Amino acid sequence: MSRRLNVGIIGAGRIGKVHAEAIAFSIPEAALVAIADVQAEAARAVAERCRIPRVAATADEILRDSSIDAVLICSPTDTHADLVVEAARFGKHIFCEKPIALSLDQIDRALDAVDKAQVKLQVGFNRRFDPNFMRVRVAIASGEIGTPHLLHIISRDPGPPPISYVRSSGGMFLDMAIHDFDMARFLIDDEVTQVYAAAGVRVDPEIGRAGDVDTAVTVLHFANGVFGTIDNCRKASYGYDQRAEVLGSAGAIATENVFPNRAVISTAEAVRRDLPLNFFMERYAESFRNELHAFVDAVVGDKPVPVTGADARASVVIALAAQKSHEERRPVRLEEISQVIAATGL
């Protein structure tokens, strides 16, 4: 494929804009040809910023455009599964923001459609493409720290989302910790078999009244014997806290947070530095570009995508198990989730 990959974008919100800029400004192998959003003004703004020639009236218009090779699905979560099914039907390669859906049967329907259409589907677990976590993956994959034994992930937001968001989010495990479940699978490169989660409401009682938790620790049992712990909180007063540590038979690797500068200030009060990058748009800016590069590479070079539909499904299963563990106050095997689903069509 010597010509540029023609890309259409569905959704011109915050993340749609990020992906549009990545394609427009750092991926010469791809060209943005159309964008659609239910809010036409948003689509027009991104189109102007990123010099996208056409603002489509609907997502459908983009899917039916035969000049378009691939679509980026950046619309609200509850539209993802249907759009994946439709895009697959029209033979488009698909980059879909996470999660594909909050229920496994919808995910499975989408993955089936992708499978039948033989198109590529990459899911937006962008943190895999962060240079820090990539370095951890390399340390494990290369044997630099030997066989992994223990994993610890810290993942805390600078503050909780609005209560309205919490209510429709699917809960902290499906909405927030899901990134960490994917990270755990990515770093250890193995499957989780059992989950134990302990969670509570520490940050805001309103979150509890909305039926959710805001603070949790989760223990992951991997098939290969590794144990992982994940430490989640909806609020870290000092900002976004995103770290991982792995102990292996020959050493350990740990990542620190990312700061806006490398200055250390010493005064009569303290030796201090500025706060870490506050949230994901800054903290993961590079990873967003990297994941799009990887997607374009996979499509153009007809290579496997680095984050598959199966990956997306697996993290949802872990999240459902974590939620169940929290509710039933016992460890939950992942096969229980599949059995429940088979039985009930959850």
- The residues in 181-240 that bind a second copy, with binding defined as CB under 8 A, are 196, 198-200, 202-203, 215-217, 219, 221, 225, 227-229, 231, 233, 235-238
For residue 301, give every residue at least 6 positions away whose Cβ sits within 8 Å of its Cβ, in sequence order, or none.
Answer: none
- Closer by beta carbon to a second copy, 61 or else 282: 282
Minimal distance in Å, beta carbon 64 to a second copy?
28
For a second copy, the closer of residues 76 and 251 by Cβ is 251
Query: Which residue lies nearer to a second copy by CB, 103 or 155?
Result: 155
Is 4 an interacting residue with respect to a second copy (CB under 8 A)?
Answer: no
Cβ closer to a second copy: 104 or 187? 187
| Nearer to a second copy among residue 38 and residue 201 (C-beta) | 201
Choose which of 331, 338, 340, 341 interacts with a second copy (CB under 8 A): 331
**Structural contact between residues 96 and 121, judged by C-beta atoms closer than 8 angstroms:** yes
Q: For a second copy, which is the closer residue by CB, 162 or 262? A: 262
Residue 311 near residue 187 (C-beta atoms within 8 A): no
Contact between 314 and a second copy per CB under 8 A = no
Q: How many residues bind a second copy (CB under 8 A)?
A: 76
Q: Is 282 in the site for a second copy (CB under 8 A)?
A: no
Sole window of 25-33, 38-46, 73-81, 310-318 interacting with a second copy (rule: CB under 8 A): 25-33
Binding window for a second copy (CB under 8 A); candidates: 74-82, 89-97, 139-147, 292-300: 139-147
Contact range with a second copy by CB under 8 A, out of 99-107, 144-152, 173-181, 289-297:
144-152
Q: Which residues pair with 9 in a beta bridge?
A: 35, 72
3-state secondary structure of 313: helix
Pick 200 or 301: Cβ nearer a second copy = 200
CB nearer a second copy, residue 272 or residue 303: 272
Judged by CB under 8 A, which of 262, 302, 304, 344 binds a second copy?
Answer: 262
| φ/ψ of residue 222, rounded to 5 | -95, 155
Q: Is 150 in the site for a second copy (CB under 8 A)?
A: yes
278 binds a second copy (CB under 8 A): no
Contact call for residues 210 and 163 (beta carbons, < 8 A): yes
Q: How far is CA 259 from CA 130, 323, 342, in A?
A: 14, 33, 46
User: What does the DSSP 8-state code read for residue 92?
Assistant: -
Instruction: Decide if 234 contacts 176 (C-beta within 8 A).
Output: yes
Least distance to a second copy, CB of residue 131, Å? 5
Told to check if 83 binds a second copy by CB under 8 A, we report: no
When asked if residue 141 is in the footprint of a second copy (CB under 8 A), the reply is: no
Q: Work out the number of other CB atoms within 10 angstroms of the CB of residue 249.
A: 10
| CA pair distance 58, 37, nearest whole angstrom | 7
If one asks whether residue 144 binds a second copy (CB under 8 A), the answer comes out as yes
| CA distances to 120, 148, 221 from 250, in Å | 37, 9, 21
Instruction: Select from 238, 237, 218, 236 the least CA-distant residue to 228.
Output: 218
- Respond yes or no on whether the N-terminal peptide bond of residue 260 is cis (omega within 30° of 0): no
Integer Cα distance of 87 and 318 in angstroms: 27
Q: How far apart are CA 39 and CA 318, in angstroms?
A: 34
| Nearer Cβ to a second copy (109/202) | 202
Length of the chain: 346
Nearest-approach distance from CB 266 to a second copy, in angstroms: 4
Candidate residues 44, 49, 54, 109; the one interacting with a second copy per rule CB under 8 A: 49
x/- string (CB under 8 A) for a second copy, residues 154-173?
x-x-----------------
Per DSSP, what are the bridge partners of residue 245? 152, 254
User: What is the rounded distance in angstroms from the CA atom of residue 135 to the CA atom of residue 127?
Assistant: 12
